[in-house]
Amino acid sequence: MATRENLRNIAIIAHVDHGKTTLVDELLKQSGTFRANEVVDERVMDSNDIERERGITILSKTTSVMYGDTKINIVDTPGHADFGGEVERILQMVDGVLLVVDAFEGCMPQTRFVLKKALGLKKKPLVVVNKIDREGSRPEEVVDEVLDLFIELGADEDQIEFPVVYASAKGGYASLDPHNKGTDMQPLFKEIVEEIPAPEGDPDGGLQILISNIDYDDYVGRIGVGRVERGTVKNGQGAVLCGIDGTRQNVRIQKLYQYEGLKRVETETATYGDLICVSGINSINIGETLCSYDCVEPLPFVKIDEPTVTMNFIVNNSPFAGREGKFVTSRNLRDRLFKEIETNVALRVEETDSADTFKVSGRGELHLSILIETMRRQGYEFQVSRPQVITKEIDGVRNEPIEILMIEVPDEYVGAVMEKLGTRKAELVNMDTNGSGTTHIEFRIPSRGLMGYRPEFLTDTNGNGIMNHVFDAYEPWKGEIITRHQGSLIAWETGDTVAYGLNAAQERGRLFVGPGVPVYEGMIVGASPKAEDLTVNVCKKKHMTNTRASGSDDALKLTPPSIMSLEQCLEFIGDDELVEVTPENIRMRKMILSREQRMKNQNRNK
């Protein structure tokens, strides 16, 4: 076995918003990757529009920096558990991990989630306590919390002796002493080179490349991203592609690329330990191995956690169908969903008895809502049903997914939060007040109980609460949970909304539409404070008469409508309702649009 001392492969893992992407920005800048006068965006690794808008990483990205003679390949991974499929397979490509922890918030649910995966794969950890310049930061306590977490997750002796670097990614400095502000990132570069193991392998052995990711280019087609585990690969070389299902196929690598900074650069050859991209193999998939002809030994691929949430994607059949979308047919929808599962390994798509309906399962509501938002922006028009949890039959007992929920709230809101979560079958695990007027509470709660809770939580805490959750395990069904305590206001007829009709309707509940908005019969135009649905005529005009009376023609005062985001719509709808998604609008509607049909249906089900 040989060792490549001039190469390091690391993944950056952390909870959402603890500063992974900003840290990568700083490492790129200080390694001389950019020209001195080059204008660089903040969070340059978050290249996707939705990532930039929401400030979260959805897709893992690879880059490389040079520190002296050593090349450091860095993979920036998502922090949300909904994109855990990305994290799990990317860890296969690296030898060590940079665990970034916020110096104020400390260990959070996704910190636990990503660290558990890394320790299970025996990756060497290097802890970076970030944001030490933040007010209220407590770096030493956070290191103790991290140590407790390592012990709890069963880390081995070598992993528990983790090195610690204190940093401010925003300030652009790192230090080995929490009380000493550094001047640059040199201490972190130095620790990476000294502490993260160099890749080991056999340069003369039979070729093995494990494909961990798929990229796509309009010019060269599918690109497989992976690591050379053994041997050496050359541009134009022939190889055997070993499928996950045991199939074998002779292929040729047309182009070979490596990462230099943020760019993919064509290269003639790569050897063990290198992170590479290969093009020219259109049938290549995640989890497959490229081997040399004379030594066909496929590598095992990491098992991806199963989906926990499912929903139906349905061809749009509302009265406004086909007006705003570019891709509206069942074939368009089917092709797009099956294309998605080629790169989105944690997603499942199944066909149903109806040619217009597809069952799509993912790791959480966020995972699915990002897919819906992406498709909407690409010109697709369709409808989706309410998200449902996936249950499992274990030893003859019905089991459901349970999540760990961590909440940080000002002390005065603790009662309201506990009361609401109690009705959603949450069990209190831990409660801690840190003396600063904030309470930290941990619960175990069925995934069902969390659906639709976020808007309520933000209302109950006046927007001051922070909640994070992560999948924990499957446990026996916890019984019925009533999560929705309000009904819908439903449009009586098709037409454009009018101020007169809206004025009458707003007394019945909260409206989602303003004047001059096209609506159709059966469309949801607001929320009723009572549990039952109400039909309202928002298109009703005032009848003209020749009678005039003092005060009857005063200007109408309309309350501004609540504009619902995609996530809020998915959380609001009931089992008999759908969200209609088009490139221009997001609407909610009843599955059965006709009021008469709904009444007949209701009477039949009594």
Q: pLDDT tens-digit profile of 540-579? A: 887 665 555 555 555 678 888 888 888 888 888 888 889 9
Domain count, the chain: 4
Within-domain flag for 239? yes
Q: Are 280 and 249 in contact (CB under 8 A)?
A: no
Within-domain flag for 157? yes
**Is 124 assigned to a binding site?**
no
Q: Which of 199, 214, 232 is the last residue of a domain?
A: 199
Q: Are 56 and 108 members of one domain? A: yes
Q: Are 272 and 173 members of one domain? A: no
Q: Is 198 exposed, middle or buried (0-12, 13-18, 19+ CB in 10 A)?
A: middle
Q: Are 466 and 532 members of one domain? A: no
Within-domain flag for 366? no
Within-domain flag for 355? no
> pLDDT at residue 331 above 90?
yes
Q: Report the distance separating Cα 149 and Cα 7, nearest Å.
A: 29
Q: Are 236 and 129 members of one domain? A: no
Q: Are 191 and 57 members of one domain? A: yes
Within-domain flag for 452? yes
Q: How far is the CA of 393 from the CAs of 346, 355, 397, in angstroms?
A: 21, 28, 5
What's the pLDDT at 581? 92
Average pLDDT over residues 34-52: 41
Q: Report the distance separating Cα 301 and Cα 93, nearest Å.
A: 11
Q: Are 123 and 236 members of one domain? A: no
User: pLDDT tens across 218-243, in order?
Assistant: 677 778 888 888 888 888 888 888 88
What's the pLDDT at 286? 77
User: pLDDT tens across 583-595, in order?
Assistant: 999 999 999 888 8
Q: Which of 291, 323, 344 is the last residue of a domain?
A: 291
Q: Are 150 and 271 members of one domain? A: no
Q: Which of 455, 476, 497 is the last residue of a domain?
A: 476
> pLDDT at residue 58 above 50?
no
Q: What is the DSSP letter of 106?
A: B
Within-domain flag for 232? yes
Model-wide pTM > 0.75: no
What CATH number is given to the structural domain containing 212? 2.40.30.10
Ranked by mean pLDDT, the top range of 11-25, 69-83, 99-113 is: 99-113
User: pLDDT tens across 298-313, in order?
Assistant: 888 766 667 888 999 9
User: pLDDT tens across 317-329, in order?
Assistant: 999 988 888 989 9
**Is 182 assigned to a binding site?**
no
Q: Is 1 exposed, middle or buried (0-12, 13-18, 19+ CB in 10 A)?
A: exposed
Q: Report the distance separating Cα 224 and Cα 585, nearest Å.
A: 36
Q: Report the distance separating Cα 205 and Cα 268, nearest Å.
A: 19
> pLDDT at residue 41 above 80?
no
> Pairing state of beta strands 510-511 and 534-536?
unpaired
User: pLDDT tens across 13-32, in order?
Assistant: 776 665 667 777 777 777 65
Q: Report the distance separating Cα 585 and Cα 474, nearest Å.
A: 37
**Is 235 assigned to a binding site?**
no
Within-domain flag for 260? yes
Of 180-189, 240-249, 543-552, minimum mean pLDDT range = 543-552
> pLDDT at residue 462 above 90?
no
383 confidence band (pLDDT: 50, 70, 90):
very high
Domain extent at residue 37: 2-199
Q: Report the distance separating Cα 77 and Cα 134, nearest Å.
A: 23
Query: 603 φ, ψ to 5°?
Result: -65, -35
What's the pLDDT at 385? 92
User: pLDDT tens across 498-532, in order?
Assistant: 888 888 888 888 899 888 899 999 999 998 888 78
The whole-chain average pLDDT of the chain stands at: 80
What CATH number is given to the structural domain containing 167? 3.40.50.300
**Sequential DSSP letters for 233-297:** EETT-EEEEE-TTS-EEEEE--EEEEEEBTEEEE-SEEETT-EEEEES-TT--TT-EEEBTTB--
Chain CA centroid to CA 286, Å: 19
Q: Are 180 and 210 members of one domain? A: no
Alpha helices in 403-463 (DSSP H): 414-423, 447-450, 453-460
Q: Are 82 and 168 members of one domain? A: yes
Q: Are 455 and 536 members of one domain? A: no
Q: Are 16 and 151 members of one domain? A: yes
**Is 80 assigned to a binding site?**
no
Query: 147 φ, ψ to 5°?
Result: -60, -45
Q: Are 170 and 72 members of one domain? A: yes
Q: How far is the CA of 398 from the CAs of 362, 392, 402, in angstroms?
A: 20, 6, 13
Q: Are 317 and 276 in contact (CB under 8 A)?
A: no
Angle between helices 20-30 and 186-195 (to 10 degrees): 100
> pLDDT at residue 49 above 70?
no
**Is 20 assigned to a binding site?**
yes
Q: Are 235 and 17 in contact (CB under 8 A)?
A: no
Within-domain flag for 493? yes
What CATH number is given to the structural domain containing 597? 2.40.50.250
**Is 130 assigned to a binding site?**
yes
**One-letter amino acid for residue 148 of the chain:** D
**Is 19 assigned to a binding site?**
yes
DSSP bridge pairs for 292: 295
